[in-house]
């Protein structure tokens, strides 16, 4: 969310940013919110004047009432001033109510105006305009056919989507045996990988209140993603970033406690609205999965350095499991409204002969901090808003696809990368049952 002072001082920048994000339907909102802001400031000024006048008149009433003890004619004058005070009190009450209404209207508009994107972000309407920045590792295509990922898992008796469909419906799965163990090995390795980078491990709440939801994401994202608990002011989290950033709601953090670097495990729950293509069957796009996340809360001047570090951690992690990846810079139209800059890390799929998204790293500037009222007390004693960042460490369903495809052998076995072997009981390969 933008600062209303910034919008007031830079309306043309805000409008150009809206155009850069291809959200022209929001352009009228800028003039609308400025008009409301002007009206609100005028109401605040008038209310302040009335309070000052009321104080002066109240003192005058007291003085006149004191004089009325000796001069009864002053009583009538005092009553006239009292009537004036009453009339002003009624006007003041109306102004205060108006202030509340105007502030709510302003907040509603400010919540949907997109954050100012970084100048380095490529301009484009959708993800087709995302830009490949770099590749890490050599994509390999074996000389044997690679089955669809669920077929690979079925050879190990490692997945049962039919049973999950009977129990929960589409978009769920049972993982079993070596595949389930590999899933947990990836999560455990990712946890320890981030701890070794100096991040603090955390398991957060898996449900959050509505004020946290609206603090961490846009309304459009919330509607497309979140499951609400019926009859409760609680939502199931779509990623642990939601509750991890929410951890700091309404807090003033000492500057010496920055940066806050956290890595969190959680299950994730997502509606995943809309139809999906053939490559999004299986465990690619599902309603429930588990994930290891990294979150940073830092000084504004340090956020771009952390952004660079965080996506590089993802590259290092995937390369340690023998998976080729590339970094893809997200264009303006592909950025969620709160994001300043974002990139995807995509893993190589030998079966599809292309890359697919496995991580998303984002710098949200001070947008979440402003919404959640997270502040930092600086050395000078002045409070300021920190910047927040997040990045996927691993989401094993998609990670499993990349891991299985890139480590599948001609005989149907799957090689276990050296980094995962301690978490797989020392196994260097798993062998299919069929």
* 166 carries an active-site annotation: no
Helical (H) or strand (E) element with 316: helix 303-319
Enumerate the domain spans of the chain: 4-110, 127-430
Q: What's the pLDDT tens digit per position in 96-126? A: 888 889 999 999 999 999 999 999 999 999 9
3-class DSSP state for residue 393? strand
Selecting among 272, 357, 413, 421, the annotated active-site residue is 357
* pLDDT-derived band at 275, boundaries 50, 70, 90: very low
- Token pair, residue 427, equals 């196994």
- CA angle 424/426/431 to nearest 5° reads 70
pLDDT of res. 211: 93
d(CA 176, CA 185): 13
β-sheet bridge partners, residue 384: 376
> What is the value of pTM for the model shown?
0.87
Known active-site residue 357: yes
What is the residue whose two structure tokens read 């300021």?
Answer: 384
Q: What is the pLDDT of residues 53-86, one digit of tens each?
A: 766 666 665 665 655 555 566 555 655 656 666 6
Per DSSP, the residues of 145-200 read PPPPHHHHHHHTT-EEHHHHHHHT-TT--EE-HHHHHHHHHHHHHHHHHHHHTTPE
Distance CA 135, CA 328 (A): 9
Q: Is 135 a catalytic residue?
A: no
Query: For 389-407, what is each residue's pLDDT tens digit?
Result: 999 999 988 899 999 999 9
Pick the catalytic residue from 8, 46, 209, 285: 285
The highest-level CATH class for domain 4-110 is mainly alpha
Q: Which residues does 122 contact at the CB level (< 8 Å), separation at least 6?
A: 129, 130, 131, 329, 331, 332
Among the options 270, 326, 370, 371, which is catalytic?
A: 270
CA distances to 62, 116, 232, 377, 399 from 338, in Å: 54, 8, 26, 23, 26
Selection from 416, 362, 423 nearest residue 387 by Cα: 362
- Marked catalytic residue, from 351, 360, 362, 375: 360
Q: Please identify which of the residues 329, 351, 398, 405 carries the catalytic annotation.
A: 398
Select, from the ranges 68-77, 136-145, 215-224, 283-292, the one with the highest average predicted confidence (pLDDT). Answer: 136-145
End-to-end Cα spacing for the chain: 54
CB of 363 closer than 8 Å to CB of 386: no
Residues 335, 361 contacting (CB under 8 angstroms) = no
**What is the fold of 127-430?**
BirA Bifunctional Protein; domain 2 (3.30.930)
């Amino acid at each position: 969310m933008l600062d209303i002072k910034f919008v007031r001082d830079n309306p043309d920048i805000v409008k150009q940013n809206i155009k850069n994000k291809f959200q022209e339907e929001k352009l009228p909102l800028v003039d609308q919110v400025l008009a409301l802001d002007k009206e609100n400031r005028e109401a605040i000024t008038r209310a302040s004047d009335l309070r000052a006048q009321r104080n002066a008149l109240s003192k005058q009433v007291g003085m006149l009432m004191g004089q009325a003890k000796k001069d009864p004619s002053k009583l009538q004058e005092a009553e006239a001033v009292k009537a004036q005070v009453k009339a002003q009190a009624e006007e003041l009450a109306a102004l205060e109510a108006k202030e509340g209404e105007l502030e709510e209207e302003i907040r509603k508009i400010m919540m949907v105006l997109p954050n100012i994107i970084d100048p380095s972000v490529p301009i484009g309407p959708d993800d087709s305009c995302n830009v490949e920045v770099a590749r890490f590792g050599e994509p390999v295509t074996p000389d044997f056919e690679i089955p669809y990922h669920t077929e690979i898992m079925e050879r190990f008796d490692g997945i049962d989507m039919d049973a999950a469909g009977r129990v929960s419906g589409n978009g769920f799965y049972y993982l079993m045996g070596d595949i389930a163990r590999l899933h947990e090995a990836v999560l455990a390795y990712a946890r320890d990988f981030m701890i070794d980078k100096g991040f603090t491990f955390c398991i957060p709440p898996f449900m959050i209140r509505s004020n946290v939801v609206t603090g961490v994401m846009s309304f459009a994202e919330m509607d497309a993603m979140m499951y609400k608990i019926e009859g409760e002011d609680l939502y199931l989290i779509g990623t642990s970033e939601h509750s991890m950033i929410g951890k700091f709601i309404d807090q003033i953090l000492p500057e010496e406690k920055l940066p806050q670097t956290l890595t969190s495990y959680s299950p994730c729950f997502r509606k995943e609205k809309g139809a999906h293509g053939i490559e999004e069957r299986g465990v690619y796009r599902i309603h429930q999965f588990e994930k290891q996340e990294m979150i940073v809360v830092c000084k504004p001047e340090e956020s771009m350095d952390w952004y660079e570090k965080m996506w590089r951690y993802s590259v290092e992690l995937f390369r340690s499991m023998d998976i080729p990846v590339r970094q893809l810079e997200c264009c303006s139209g592909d950025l969620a409204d709160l994001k300043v800059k974002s990139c995807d890390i995509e893993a190589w799929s030998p079966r599809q002969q292309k890359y697919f998204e496995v991580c998303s790293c984002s710098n949200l500037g001070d947008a979440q901090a402003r919404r959640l009222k997270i502040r930092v007390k600086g050395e000078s004693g002045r409070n300021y808003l920190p910047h927040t960042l997040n990045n996927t460490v691993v989401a094993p369903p998609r990670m499993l696809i990349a891991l299985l495809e890139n480590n599948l052998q001609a005989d149907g076995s799957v090689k276990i990368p050296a980094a995962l072997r301690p978490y797989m009981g020392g196994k260097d390969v798993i062998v299919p049952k069929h």
